[in-house]
Structure 1
Amino acid sequence: MIQRTLPHARIPDLPNPYFGKVRDCYDLENNTRLLISSDRISAFDQILAVIPWKGQVLTQLARYWFDHTADIAPNHVISYPDPNVVLGKRVTILPVEIVVRGYLAGTTSTSILTQYRKGLRQMYGHTLPGGLRDNQALAQPIITPTSKAFDGGHDEPLTAEEIIRTGLLTRQQWDEVSEKSLALFARGQQMAAKRGLILVDTKYEFGTEADGTILLADEIHTPDSSRYWLASGYDAAFRAGTRPPSFDKDVIRSWVAARCDPYKDQIPEIPFEMIEKTSKVYIDAFEAITGQKFHPDTSGDTPLARVRANLSRYFTA
């Protein structure tokens, strides 16, 4: 399996490269962009490992959701020239990350559960009632927007009023992305429920074309951008006050954090069984969410050779 990973997609024949933590991107003519999902997994501000099939799973899972939500929100996708690659319209990402939450859940400093436990009841422009329990369903989903941090910055909580007053988005832009986000989340929850899953919360990124048209970008409803619980175990866990069962995609993160301070210490070598386990989590998530069997593309001498061949039409002279 390790021999079939895509640790990078550095292709000198492609123009205008930009290399992110897990994606390698190239800007083409006509305001288009190639986004290649590698198998790198990132945490603690560094690359921890490469996970077999991760890039293909996430690309194809996002494709599933883009296809099933295009009637709600137009997206940046033009085509899929390779199982790991999206050819998309080049957009300017809006400086606000839209997070929709349907439950009092989360572990980060910006999560509503973390803030609720601290005694806060007003957050992100919403007022939550007292007496809510961990992981309880909200009366209705809410949007908890944050600033879109760039260059290693940290996301900061925002309210709709702050977004408009500071000019991060216009009133018209905010109304459009918030309406579409709630509709996307409702579609996601409805489809997840049919698969025995609960879509707990998710984040959306939107960008604008040159003419100002807003498009859904990046990814949608993947395990990397969303929290899913298994519906069959939710009621028992809620009654017991424990965390509902979910796709534990933080297998490697938890393993590393238990053995060192990953922000200060050298990361220990991650054993293959942890890599294999993480790969299985992603594949299981794909199959549970879509109801489809995951079929890895094993063509080409290596995944990079296959990607190069499929993208050769975009090579510069």
Structure 2
Amino acid sequence: MTNPLGLEGFQHVYSGKVRDLYAPLGPDGAPVPDRLMLVASDRISAYDWVLDTPIPDKGAVLTRLSLWWFDQLADLVPNHVVSTDVPAAVAGRAVIVRRLEMLKLEAIARAYLTGGGLEEYRAKGSVCGVPLPEGLEDGSRLPEPVFTPTTKAPVGEHDLPMSPAEVEELVGADVAAEVSRLTRAILARGNEIAAERGILIADTKVEFGRAADGSGGLVLGDEVLTPDSSRFWPAAAWQPGRSQPSYDKQFVRDWLTSPESGWSRSSGEAPPPLPERVVEQTRAKYVEAYELLTGETF
């Protein structure tokens, strides 16, 4: 396999929309069986497209914020992190993790109604088959977090909403119930902590896996409660009935769907490069979210 970063002692395994996976090599040159290195790039995706324009420092922000959240969630669910001892070339944006068999679904929970969930609610009064109260609008707080999973589509294809029955068919009733419980618990804990820092977490996406031999319970993998996987809103500006200001990549989505970009989601064509000011403002939003949540200077 190619080795895009030229990392000695590691073999490139896979590249997703944002992250790259490498296998550490043992003394015999063979991949270490139960370990991987997860490298967060500065790539950014929107509307299931990986954009041509990177966001500087994004990989480091996502990695450091995920590590902080893994600590806050440690009593709820185990995570995949083994070590932050990584090659200098990827220091700060990579972690050594347990190799897991990942569940083939995106586990999503919503505490507020917006985005694709709002579109489905307006059409059907529900999200992923979960009925919701009447009279909700963009930004409405839900009575309690709801589990609204999607398929995990290959790069370049669209994730599709999954009903509770489809999740059970994919992973079994017991695992489906546990994924739902954990995803909603992660979002609830995230909002408890973020609310003290002036941030509302509207929704979040997490991923779970299991040990390759099937032993043990679910393990939280990938990233958690970052501006890439969640919608962060400033609590002081929250006002249902309109689109909310945000600390996440909604800023990029809004530019892409604005007349200025000249791009249409329905065109089937790749989005245009981001202008420098959108890149700078997006980086600033990511860093601001990190600093508000952790209390640390990036």
* Equivalent residues in 2 for 1:155-166, closer than 5 Å: 155-164=159-168, 166=169
Q: 1:246 to 1:148 in 2, by over 3 A?
A: same
Aligned to 2:103: 94
For the Cα contact (< 8 Å) 1:21–1:47, is it kept in 2? no
Verify: 1:42 aligned to 2:38, yes or no. Answer: no
Counterpart in the other structure of 1:207: 209
Partner of 1:313: none
Separation in 1, partners of 2:161, 2:45:
23
Q: Tell me the amino acid that sits aligned with residue 121 of structure 1.
A: G
Unaligned runs of 5+ in 2: 25-31, 86-90
Q: Take 2:111 and 2:286, find their aligned partners in 1: how far apart are those partners?
A: 23
- In structure 1, distance between residues paired with 2:256 and 2:283: 16
- Which residues in structure 2 correspond to 1:245-256 (within 5 Å)? 245-256=245-256
For the 8 Å contact 1:42–1:48, the answer to whether it is kept is no
Question: Which residue of the other structure, out of 171, 174, 192, is the alignment partner of 1:172?
Answer: 174
When Rg is computed on C-alpha atoms for both structures, the one with the higher figure is 1
Map 1:1-317 → 2, pairs under 5 A: 9-11=5-7, 13-28=9-24, 29-43=32-46, 45-81=49-85, 82-106=91-115, 111-118=116-123, 120-164=124-168, 166=169, 168-212=170-214, 213=216, 214-234=218-238, 237-238=239-240, 241-257=241-257, 258-261=260-263, 263-264=268-269, 267=272, 270-294=274-298
Q: State the percentage of identical aligned residues.
A: 40
> Can you list the C-alpha shifts for 1:269-317, whole angstroms capped at 9, x where unaligned?
x4433322222111111111222211xxxxxxxxxxxxxxxxxxxxxxx
Q: Is the 8 A contact 1:200 1:227 kept in 2?
A: yes
Q: Secondary structure at the match of 2:84?
A: strand
The structural deviation recorded for 1:62 is 0.5
Provide Cα deviations, 1:219-242, integer angstroms capped at 9, x if missing partner.
Answer: 1100100011111111xx33xx32
User: 1:149 Cα shift?
Assistant: 1.5
1:275 partner letter: V
Residue identity in the other structure for 1:104: L
Higher mean Cα deviation, 30-39 or 126-135?
126-135
User: Residues 162, 39 of structure 1: CA spacing in aligned structure 2 closer, same or farther, 3 A cutoff?
Assistant: closer
Q: Deviations over 1:179-235 (max 9, x none)?
A: 21122111101001110111111111101112323211111100100011111111x
Could you list the per-position Cα deviations for residues 30-76 of structure 1 after superposition, in whole angstroms to 9, with x for gaps in the alignment? 31100111222234623322222111001000111011101101011
- When residues 144 and 250 of structure 1 are mapped into structure 2, their CA distance, relative to the original with a 3 A threshold, is closer
Count of paired positions: 275
Question: Whole-Å Cα distance in 1 between the matches of residues 58 and 12 of structure 2?
Answer: 25
1:248–1:24 CA distance, 2 compared to 1 (3 A) = closer
Q: Give me the whole-angstrom Cα distance separating, in 2, the residues matched to 1:144 and 1:66.
A: 22
> Shift of residue 16 of structure 1?
4.1
Once the two structures are overlaid, the 10-residue window that deviates more, 184-193 or 144-153, is: 144-153
Structure 1 length normalisation: TM-score?
0.79
Deviation for aligned residue 1:124: 2.3
Unaligned residue ranges in structure 1 (runs of 5+): 1-7, 295-317
Letter in structure 2 aligned against 1:116: Y
